[in-house]
Amino acid sequence: MIVYTVICRARDAAILVELATESLAGGNAPQVTTALLEHLRDNPSVIQEGHLKTFVHRNQDDEEMGDDIFNTVMQACTVPISSAPDLDIGQFQEHYFHLWLDDGIYYCCLSDSPEPRHHKVAFACMQAICRDLKQRFSQRKLRSCNAYALNSEFTPNLRSAMHYYNINCDKLSQDQHVNGLLVQVEDMKVILGRNIQLLLDRGEKVDRLLATSDKTLAETNVFRQRSERVKKLKRLQKIKTYMILGGLMLTIGIVVGYTYHNSKS
């Protein structure tokens, strides 16, 4: 059963809206959730954009745990939801913090069911809440609004979604879409990995093309410089040839003229 839902901005851990069921009244879920979200704000690598994760909070001995809520959460078993069937549930009371990061917004559902199939329903609930939130508010408002600014407007949506997914939990857990949720996530990871590899390979090819282009350009410049030098040499040779011919003709003319002048004399 989903007993608490909160929507939080990732960059500053500002809670935009939250709702707890009556069964959670008087509990410390809001404080524990706040501590967890602040930890995720300070350690953004724990959950990447688009990823789903479940944090398990075990209330083994409240007296031993004391008032350090954060240590209580950090002693939890943090696992991807895909490994939920392998969780060591034990005999202690447990709560499950299901988190999803989408467009810089954390969607968090707290449930008390150890059943992995119910965990998947919690993620389906968060996806439905996410769709409603995006239809209702712009990204600009979500990024700039104050803490708890959406409580009055969006609490009815949370209440409706939590009620629907709680009363239909068993039925929805058999839904093909819900069961395929994690498969879709894993497929997205594989596709993303392939796309990144393709981009890297394409980048290497582009780098090779650029290197070849630079080399060709350099060779073209060298060829142009050599061509210009050859043209200059040919022009100089032609000028030199003209000068020699001109000098030779001038010499012949002088000799002929001098001979003619002497023969007349």
In a domain, 187, yes or no: no
In a domain, 231, yes or no: no
pTM value is 0.56
Q: Which domain covers residue 29, as residue numbers?
A: 2-175
Those residues whose C-beta lies under 8 Å from the C-beta of residue 126, and which sit 6 or more positions away, are 5, 98, 100, 107, 108, 109
In a domain, 248, yes or no: no
Domain count across the chain = 1
What is the DSSP-derived secondary structure letter of residue 164?
A: H
C-alpha to C-alpha distances, 150 to 12, 131, 220, nearest whole angstrom: 16, 15, 65
In a domain, 164, yes or no: yes
Question: What pLDDT shows up at residue 118?
Answer: 80
In a domain, 255, yes or no: no
Choose the most confident range, by mean pLDDT, from 82-96, 101-115, 185-199, 213-227. Answer: 101-115
In a domain, 168, yes or no: yes
C-alpha to C-alpha distances, 98 to 31, 39, 106, 260, nearest whole angstrom: 16, 15, 10, 121
In a domain, 218, yes or no: no
Residue positions counted in the chain: 265
Question: What pLDDT shows up at residue 111?
Answer: 87
Question: What pLDDT shows up at residue 61?
Answer: 43
Q: Domain of 80: which CATH number?
A: 3.30.450.50
Check: CB of residue 125 under 8 Å from CB of residue 109: yes
pLDDT tens digits for 220-252? Answer: 777 778 878 888 888 888 888 888 888 888 888
Identify residue 150 by its one-letter amino acid code.
Answer: L
In a domain, 111, yes or no: yes
Integer Cα distance of 7 and 105 in angstroms = 7
